[in-house]
Amino acid sequence: MSLIQPTRTICTRCSRLTLTINQSKSLKFHNYRSFASSSSSRSTNRLNHQNRKWPRLALTILGITIPTTYLFFPNNNSKKSLKPNEYSDQKVTSIKTLSNQHKLITIPIDFKSKEFFENPFKIDGNFSNKENNEIVIQHIMIKSNDLQIERPYTFINDPLNDNEIRMVIKRVQGGEVGRVVHNLKDGDSIGVRGPIPTFSIYPNKYDKIIMISTGTGISPFLQFLSKLSSSSSSSNNKLIKDKNLPKLHLIHLKPLKGKEDWSNSNEDESFLPFLTNKSNLKDKLKITRIELDEFLNKELILNSLKGFKDIEKNQNVLFLICLPPNLMKPLCGNILPNRQGPITGILGEMGLTNEQVWKLD
């Protein structure tokens, strides 16, 4: 199978790493007594003078050592490069308000961080198979220092091509990390860990890929389409050059009445209006917008499968589903802990299996 199960990230209370410095044993300064014997007063004065030199010498050594230590062994927080297993403070260069609940934030990536996008690793720890056009969808973790919790956020663009990470972050009631991000201003820093693999896919192994999402669940698909069509040096260039792109169908629910349709705005070049204009995707990508009451409709799924008569036997069709549990369950069944779970609901009734359906949190 060409997919790897996405990472299931839960709320984590992180242990704060505290650097403990063992105090060295204090110097023992002996009190020299003068005896009314052969010791002279001059000898006693010399000893007292030497005793007074020790504290000065200790302070001088500390005065030289401490600055030198900070110079050659800087604090880890000063390291700005991204790391999957370690948090670093990253500067947010742009924050755009998309709605009263959604903000688009931009984090630039430095040269050293690019290695994680140029040669991304998968969930199994191996590097992606670029020669066979494997694409890895990634996310990052953002933390709240106040409560020491972290949350995953999937970026919507190809960082390797854009030299930056862009994400749409929704603030929900009680969401601590979302609150922190929504209170940021341009130039502020935020604790980031990543990039981390979400799932990987070999697009050229399929004749058609159908993506179904709602809200910010569209983020992994926007990233996938951006990487698929980008001009970066990653392996997807071969897909474009050889014209091996599969047919692509993105089905995205419209927001509820009165809510901002941010994914259909012109605020970012990774959003829907720009995708259909990209020459690489123009003849391959179809975008369908539907209302919520139209969603649980078997006819909609059948229409997306036109041209694939014997779907039960056709292994070259892939459904990627990123929906909340209340919508995912009637469509294909919910994800179970640490595994995909059986395909039930509408897609199960149509005879689709785990080989053809992949669920995303």
Phi and psi dihedrals of 194, rounded to 5?
A: 150, -170
**Count of other CB atoms within 10 angstroms of residue 242:** 10
Alpha-carbon gap, residue 157 to 106, rounded angstroms = 10
168 is in an annotated binding site: yes
177 is in an annotated binding site: yes
DSSP output for 259-285: S--GGGSSS-TTSHHHHTT-TTTTTTE
Which tokens belong to 197?
């693999």
Task: Give CA separation, 194 vs 49, 116, 203, 234, 267, in Å.
Answer: 58, 9, 24, 19, 25
Alpha-carbon gap, residue 4 to 13, rounded angstroms = 26
330 is in an annotated binding site: no
Select from 358, 275, 293 the least CA-distant residue to 322.
358
Alpha-carbon gap, residue 224 to 248, rounded angstroms = 11
Select from 249, 132, 250 the least CA-distant residue to 202.
132
Select from 153, 158, 140 the least CA-distant residue to 195.
140
166 is in an annotated binding site: no
Annotated binding site: 151-153, 168, 170, 177
Annotated binding site for FAD: 151-153, 168, 170, 177
